[in-house]
Amino acid sequence: MSTRLSSGGRLIDRTKALEFTFNGKRLRGFSGDTLASALLGADQMLLGRSFKYHRPRGLVAAGVEEPNALVNLGQGSRLEPNQRTTTTEVFDGLSATSQNHWPSLEFDIGALNGLVARFLPAGFYYKTFIHPRAAWKHLFEPLIRQSAGLGRAPVERDADRYEYFYAFCDVLVIGGGIAGLQAALVAGAAGARVLVLEQTAHWGGRAPVDGVQIDGRPADDWIRNAVEALERMENVTVRTRVTGAGVYDHGYVLADEKVADHTPGDGRPKHRLWRIRAGRIVTATGAIERPLAFAGNDVPGVMLASAVRDYVVNWAISPGDRTVVVTNNDDAYRTAIALKQAGLAVPAVIDARPEARGALPEAARAAGITVLTGTAVAGVKGRGRVSGVQLCPQAGEGGAVTQEIACEAVAMSGGWSPVVHLWSHCGGKLVWDEGAAMFRPDPARPPLGADGTGFVFAAGSANGALLADQVMGDATAAAEAALTAMGKQAGAPATPESHAEAEAPLLPVWIMPQGAGPDLRMKMWLDYQNDVKVSDVQLAAREGYESVEHTKRYTTLGMATDQGKLSNINGLATLSNALNLPIPEVGTTTFRPPYTPVTIGALAGEARGEIFQPLRRTPMHDWHAAHGVEWEPVGHWRRPFCYRQPGEATSAAVNREVLNTREKVGLLDASTLGKILVKGPDAGRFLDMLYTNMMSNLKPGRCRYGLMCSENGFLMDDGVVARIDEDSWLCHTTSGGADRIHAWMEDWLQCEWWDWKVYTANLTEQFAQIAVVGPKARAVLEKLGGMDVSAENFKFMEWQDGHLGGFAVRIFRISFSGELSYEIAVPAGQGRALWGALHDAGQEFGIAPYGTEALHIMRAEKGFVMIGDETDGTVTPQDLNLDWAISKKKEDFLGKRGQQRSYLSSPDRWKLVGLETLDGTVLPDGSYAAAEGVNANGQRNTQGRVTSTYWSPTLRKGIAMGLVRRGPERMGEVIDFPQPGGAVIKARIVDPVFYDKQGEKQNV
């Protein structure tokens, strides 16, 4: 069994005991424990089930690379699935449950998958697509969907908050091991702005566990001094619990700070996403040990040798009384020695190499440990946990077991792989190091920045400098290179002497024993989480998968939540053997951000709840909210759709608002309309180019409706333009068009007509605008008083400045409803007060506010087009019968040439008409008018479509507008609108102006 040792543990504080639960069981750990170490200390070896075969799984690793020991962490609004126990700090009250099993961790029905493993080979998922066809839909898909996923997705709202932090530095050092600290010291001493990020809560990385001596003293001493020195430097910022997640172009880096993962509910943000701009980046991200592929290497109790060492040294955990070490290198002997020093038994070190005569093997022998060279593990005994290993010669096929050793744990080491992820994210290339059997960064091919030089520098183990003696020099060099690249001078940095026992070369061992047959190979796990074995990769190769990227997807190797941190190199080495190609020719899969999973909450940052999105409020927003408003989102604006009286249905409210406005007087919040001031000696000429009609000849004091087209000739915006004075015009745009049209104007002025003397200003938000609409509109304004708004003095399509009821206003006499209408603009701050004053003054005339739906209905009754309804970016003004608003006199305007193209000037285009159903009902929105025959795809031909359709309370029937081929030539014709389900609605083509065709009502 695994237990807590009575002494030791450099990271735990035995005076601070903590209680937590696992699957409801109450367990104890210490401050400084990870959830993994605390579980191991409580003899919890079985921690989860694998994805495909539901094999029992325990801890393999002690860090971010852990593939197995994932849990549902927390409960309710703080539940997080797939949390790695190895990176979760234990806190009092932590609750975790195991994943991917039913009904219980110990007895799991899904484990039956393991019995049929031979029927679930590599590419099983894809093979189910092929035949029989019905099987995918009815058998495999439901089955796979049921078993998909490891953890449970949270259903409650996240109780925590998250935030971003934008940071800037000259040199960003990712990784707080001895290489990272040394690089930071060098960069800091040179005066650079340095930011150092360490993903764990502790500085120093592996060095203290591996017995590294720095300047003749234990690494811990140097680490403490280095961190203190860095903290004293004003130009250096050091942070723990921050993972460098991704490196992007231009020195942009995302890093995830786990602010309150270990102190939930303390009011701090749970995570803080650092969005960093770094001049240069030093990746001191260390290395990850590789497992060995032998039969039964996934049985709980088989762990990485470095992880066993970590658990013993950092957390005083015994993985079992007897641990067998299996290796192809010298480093694993450190684990054997550490176990021995902790008073635990190491029955043997199984070394695949024919000979092991380095300092470490000799030290192990001197400690009384048996070393068996040229030996391999033929199999692991035990199901739920290790009970022993069977040995055989590494050179053989594993048929003859030479020896069995009883043990509770197996510590394996297949060598080390530098963590090259961050180097690679933005294009850094790798080189295969034959001697160390690893990919390491190729210094000649770094990721290149905007200036064409490398902007990432790998340091220490991450650069392949795995041996302690090399680390410090390598880190110094990386920091100096980063400084030099920025034109900064490194001082004469002191490079401390780091030292550990020398290591003899490893022997690349990709399977064990080297001649293992099929029975053993299908028990050799490469990817623990996704259940990919040596036999699966070999099968993929036999089936013709030569590219490592294809093999990855076919077998799912490296596609689990750990993204293949343990499995990728072993997998591609297996593939290269199967293809008989050298490893560098097979290459690696692509390293993509994030390095470790980043929770969606952190990526969303502050954007949730009320501040999920900007909400644009007009000055009258609160009044609407207090008066039964039903909102309609218009871009980021909220506009009143209608105002419901108590007990009133939405449609009833809309109909009431239309009739009240037509019969009495309505009040509309038109503040969202775009208002762009255009001023200058060339402003008239400029507007003549922008609009299809003439604006330069508009008289001051007058308004004119105008259309704007894209260069292609399509209608993109419309609105009323008012001439303010000799060189100023105020252009109204649609609500959604304000920013876009302002940018469009500036684009032409800055890029094309830069020598024209025109200035623009977007005044949309400067003014609140209120439309007073209906036969009693004039009476309401007269009641407020201060301006002569009579028909004689204030004509249709004029504007006037003045004081209305004490408010400094500008009134435009324009109409989008066909009624007598005044649009009143005031500075936004006065909008709410003017609205109230108008509402009060209008009481005796029956005034009522109306929303966008009533606005839409009234404009449709009048046959006025709406940008976005009648237009969709492919409609010209001519299609909408707006030829009257297209100047024939102007030499040019934007869109003129486009409109002359044969397709756009074809008489066969779909053109605007009115549509009335024969029975007076409302034609469904978006309906298409069918034509004879079918097209090349066997679809019914069409000859038109509905663009706007409403129930008209004024006319008491359905009215619609639509685009129909040669529509205006076909007045009176009845066309078919087939509906889903087979019904056909017949509608007659009519004049689109349904109401007050002569326009008398607006002109009174």
Partner 1 sequence: MSEPVSALGGAAYQGFCKVQEAGPVGMLTLRGNFASQVFVNAVKTSVGVAMPKVRAIVTEGDRSLAWMSPDEVLLILPHAELAAVRTRLTEALAGEHALVVDVSDARAVLTVSGAGAREVLAKLCPVDLAPDAFGPGEMRRTRAAQVAAAIWMSGEEEFTLIAFRSVAGYVMGLLTAAAAPGGEVGVFA
Q: Does the protein bind partner 1 through residue 603 (CB under 8 A)?
A: no
Cβ atoms within 10 Å of 990's Cβ, excluding its own: 16
Omega within 30 of 0 (cis) for the link into 56: no
- Which residues, at least 6 apart from 366, have a Cβ–Cβ distance to it below 8 Å? none
Q: Where do runs of H (alpha helix) occur along 272-358?
A: 305-315, 333-341
Contact 273, 254 (CB under 8 A): yes
Return the bridge partners of 375, or none.
393
Amino acid identity of residue 707, one-letter, is L
Contact status: 767 vs partner 1 (CB under 8 A): yes
Contacting residue, 494, 743, 791, 808, with partner 1 by CB under 8 A: 808
Question: Quick count: other Cβ atoms within 10 Å of Cβ 104?
Answer: 10
Tokens of 960: 């619609």
From 20, 641, 807, 864, residue interacting with partner 1 (rule: CB under 8 A): 807
- Whole-angstrom Cα distance, residue 640 to residue 624? 7
> 993 in helix, strand or coil?
coil
Three-class secondary structure of residue 279 per DSSP: strand
Strand partners, 832: none
Interface with partner 1 includes 806 (CB under 8 A)? yes
Identify any residues that bridge with 950 across adjacent strands, giving them in sequence order.
959
Using rule CB under 8 A, residue 435 touches partner 1? no
Nearer to partner 1, 613 or 645 (CB): 613
Binding residue for partner 1, selected from 54, 101, 193, 280, defined by CB under 8 A? 193
Shorter beta-carbon distance to partner 1: residue 10 or 239: 239
From 40-48, 487-495, 552-560, 824-832, give the range in contact with partner 1 by CB under 8 A.
824-832
Task: Answer for the pair 417, 569: CB distance below 8 angstroms, yes or no.
Answer: yes
The residues facing 84 across adjacent strands are 70
Residue corresponding to tokens 């009060």: 840
Q: Which of helix, strand or coil describes residue 170?
A: strand
Determine, following the binding rule CB under 8 A, whether residue 401 of this chain makes contact with partner 1: no
In sequence order, what are the residues at sequence separation of 6 or more whose Cβ sits closer than 8 angstroms to the Cβ of residue 840? Answer: none
Q: How far is the CB of 796 from partner 1 (least distance, A)?
A: 28
Residue 434 CB partners (closer than 8 Å, separation 6+): none
Tokens 């008012």 — which residue? 722
Cβ neighbours of residue 502 closer than 8 Å, sequence gap 6 or more: 358, 359, 467, 469
The CB-of-900 to partner 1 minimum distance in angstroms stands at 34
Shortest approach of partner 1 to residue 690 CB, angstroms? 18
Of 165-173, 342-350, 554-562, 592-600, which segment contacts partner 1 by CB under 8 A? 165-173
Find the angle CA(149)-CA(154)-CA(156) to the nearest 5 degrees. Answer: 160
- Nearest-approach distance from CB 604 to partner 1, in angstroms: 11
Q: How far is the CB of 174 from partner 1 (least distance, A)?
A: 17
CA-to-CA dists, residue 680 to 370, 485, 537, 696, 751, angstroms: 93, 49, 72, 12, 17
Choose which of 433, 663, 765, 869 interacts with partner 1 (CB under 8 A).
Answer: 765
- At 499 the three-state DSSP class reads strand
User: Interface with partner 1 includes 167 (CB under 8 A)?
Assistant: yes
Place of tokens 């309609």: 632
Query: Scanning residues 659 to 688, which ones bind partner 1 (CB under 8 A)?
Result: 677, 679-681
**Shortest distance (Å) from residue 487 CB to partner 1:** 18
177 three-state secondary structure? strand
Cβ of residue 603: shortest distance to partner 1, in angstroms?
A: 14
Q: Do the beta carbons of residue 150 and residue 70 sit within 8 Å? A: yes
Measured from the CB atom, the residue of 251 and 713 that comes closer to partner 1 is 251
User: Whole-number minimum distance, CB 247 to partner 1, in Å?
Assistant: 17
Please report how close the Cβ of residue 439 comes to partner 1 at its closest, in angstroms: 34
Residues 613-642 that bind partner 1 (CB under 8 A): 613-619, 636-637
Q: How many CA atoms lie within 13 A of 453 on its CB side?
A: 12
Q: In 10 A of CB 115, how many CB atoms? A: 9
Rank residues 142 and 265 by Cβ distance to partner 1 and give the closer one.
265
Given the rule CB under 8 A, which of 386-394, 827-835, 892-900, 965-973 is the region that contacts partner 1? 827-835
Peptide bond into 132 cis (omega under 30): yes
Which stretch in 53-61, 87-95, 281-289, 608-616 sits in contact with partner 1 by CB under 8 A?
Answer: 608-616
Please say which residue, 221 or 765, places its beta carbon nearer to partner 1: 765
Minimum CB separation of residue 759 from partner 1 in Å reads 4
Nearest to 463 by CA among 504, 417, 494: 417
Please, what is the minimum distance in Å from the beta carbon of residue 275 to partner 1? 7
In the complex with partner 1, which residue's Cβ is closer, 14 or 832? 832
Task: Map the footprint of partner 1 across residues 840-869, applying CB under 8 A.
Answer: none
- Nearer Cβ to partner 1 (73/195): 195
- Verify binding: residue 783, partner 1, rule CB under 8 A: no
Residue length of the chain: 1004
Please report the DSSP string for 872-905 in residue order. SSS--TGGGT-GGGS-SS-S--TTHHHHTSTTTT
CB of 831 to partner 1, least distance (A): 9
158 part of the interface to partner 1, by CB under 8 A: no
Residue 149 CB, nearest approach to partner 1 (Å): 32
- Contacting partner 1 (CB under 8 A), which of 165, 401, 785, 790? 165
Q: Which stretch binds partner 1 (CB under 8 A): 220-228, 556-564, 803-811, 946-954?
A: 803-811
Report if residue 237 touches partner 1, rule: CB under 8 A. Answer: yes
DSSP string, 192-211: --EEEE-SSSSSBTTTTTTT
In whole angstroms, the minimum distance from the beta carbon of 43 to partner 1 comes to: 37
Interacting span for partner 1 (CB under 8 A) from 174-182, 312-320, 825-833, 959-967:
825-833
Q: Which stretch binds partner 1 (CB under 8 A): 86-94, 164-172, 344-352, 873-881?
A: 164-172
Task: Please say which residue, 317 or 834, places its beta carbon nearer to partner 1.
Answer: 834
| In the complex, least distance from residue 615 CB atom to partner 1, rounded to whole angstroms | 6
Query: Contact 970/964 with Cβ under 8 angstroms?
Result: yes
In whole angstroms, the minimum distance from the beta carbon of 801 to partner 1 comes to: 13
Q: Would you give the binding string for partner 1 spanning residues 264-283, x where CB under 8 A is met?
A: --xxxx--x--x-x------
Place of tokens 């002191």: 494
Q: Which stretch binds partner 1 (CB under 8 A): 418-426, 487-495, 602-610, 970-978?
A: 602-610
Backbone angles phi, psi at 942, to 5 degrees: -125, 160
CB of 614 to partner 1, least distance (A): 4
| One-character DSSP codes across 541-582 | HHTT--SHHHHHHHHTTT-STTTTTTTHHHHHHHHHHHHT--
| Residues touching partner 1, count (CB under 8 A) | 51
The distance of closest approach from Cβ of residue 728 to partner 1 in the complex, given in angstroms and rounded to an integer, is 9
Q: Among 365, 429, 832, 890, indicate the residue that binds partner 1 (CB under 8 A).
A: 832
Which residues, numbered 724-763, are part of the site for partner 1 (CB under 8 A)? Answer: 757, 759, 761, 763
User: What does the buried/exposed string (b/e) look like for 486-512 if buried means 16 or more CB atoms within 10 Å of the residue's CB?
Assistant: bebebeebebbebbbbebeebbbbbbb
Closer to partner 1 by CB, 49 or 193: give it.
193
Compare residues 752 and 991 and give the one whose CB is closer to partner 1.
Answer: 752
**Cα gap 112→222, rounded to integer Å:** 53
Question: Pick from 190, 206, 187: which is nearest to 198 by CA?
Answer: 206
Question: Of the candidates 158, 163, 215, 782, which one interacts with partner 1 according to CB under 8 A?
Answer: 163
Residues that bind partner 1 (CB under 8 A): 161, 163-168, 193, 237, 266-269, 272, 275, 277, 605-607, 610-611, 613-619, 636-637, 677, 679-681, 757, 759, 761, 763-767, 806-808, 827-830, 832-833
